[in-house]
Amino acid sequence: MLKAASKIKILENGGLTSPKGYRAAGVAAGVKNGNRTKKDVAILVSDVPAAAAGVYTTNAVQAAPVLVTKQSLAKKGQLQAVVVNSGNANACTGEQGLLDAQAMQALTAESLHIDKELVGVASTGVIGVLLPMDRIEAGIAEAMRQLSGQGGGNFAEAIMTTDLVKKETAVQVTINGQPVTIGGVAKGSGMIHPNMATMLAFLTTDAAVEQAALQDLLRQVTNRTFNRITVDGDTSTNDMVLALANGMAGSDTLTPAHAEWPIFAEAFEAVALHLAKAIARDGEGATRLIVAEVTGARTEQDAEKVAKTIVGSSLVKTAVFGADANWGRLMMAVGRSGAYVDPSRVGIWIGDVQVAANGMGLLFDEAAATRELEKDPVVFKVNLQVGEAEATAYGCDLTYEYVKINGSYRT
């Protein structure tokens, strides 16, 4: 659950369609190897065009739906619908893949009687295979029939691949006396690394937000949340985070100049952080979430480098899986992070057990440290003692099951 700030109300069973004016659906169309029991086509619709923002994979190889959505959103600055399929990434599929992504966009737009450039497109799944467009088309038609204000959960299920659990949440805050709701959903379990990952995330709000302000906020929040998670060090071809703000709450238009902008921004980040942590926790084969809290850095960028390196280290991740209090692996990660470090000042904690001070090991209670490593989450604390900046990153342990899952991913 989200750890609520004083002005943030967590909505029980909240999700993508908790804000006013959103409907969603998720259906089984047989995209996943012809399986008609697993949902794999999803649609989100706003009753009115919404200010929209997007951030995308940094991988040089970008899937067709990423290219289509980037182009449309850059031109319009608005979205009214998003269509998603799982089971097939529509990546490395050439000209036909681009045509298929455009067809998904056009089919959705025609069903809603809106401009096709108001439709975002996303895909996730196996790379290098053409979409089964007959199934996609039938899935879009069925999803249209099932659109509902209660359809957020089905949407969340339909975008899953190797995810074990749905990832969704919603919060509410008050802006100028009006309740404003922010909802979100995400998928991601493997091929996850900072600077985006095999993840899709969609955030909705009924607040009115200036488009440029929404884009800046999404970029900043992504850097502090989705860009601070890792499962396996791989960055996907399909990553995308989209945010829609349709203004149906009736609040003032929000920009950073608005007196209550900080309240909205905090709630928006709370939703993103909840989803990001849920992705890290649901890493393929994972048994425990890893949290790396770094303090005392010269800059936030340095703190982030250290935190990301810790949660991304295979040796750290396997030590967590085995509950091995090998703090030297943490020191190794600190040293290779690329951040400014004075080794003679570094302090390290496993949970509440301090294992190193001033760059040297301490006599510590091995059994107590092991108990900390058996907790979920496992928390590592590192104080560099060279400044005042801090950052936190999230990851998961690396298990036998991860190898098993990815050794037979296509089957």
Catalytic residues: 198
Query: Which residues contact residue 173 at a Cβ distance below 8 angstroms, ignoring those fewer than 6 apart?
Result: 7, 8, 9, 179, 180, 182, 263, 264, 266, 267
Rg for the chain, CA atoms, rounded: 22
**349 by DSSP, 3-state: which?**
strand
49: preceding bond cis by omega (within 30 degrees): no
Using the structure block, give the residue that is written with the tokens 């509410």. 172
Answer for the pair 317, 333: CB distance below 8 angstroms, yes or no. Answer: no
Q: Are 344 and 324 in contact (CB under 8 A)?
A: no
For CA atoms 404, 405, 407, 411, give the dihedral sign.
positive
Distance (Å, rounded) from C-alpha 192 to C-alpha 199?
Answer: 7
**How far, in Å, CA of 386 to CA of 163, rounded?**
39
- Cβ–Cβ < 8 Å for 40, 123: no
Residue ranges of E strands in 134-274: 167-175, 178-187, 200-205, 208-209, 240-245, 253-254
Q: Which residues contact 12 (CB under 8 A, 6 or more apart)?
A: none
- Residue 17: strand, helix, or coil: coil
What residues contact residue 3 under an 8 Å CB cut-off, 6+ apart? none
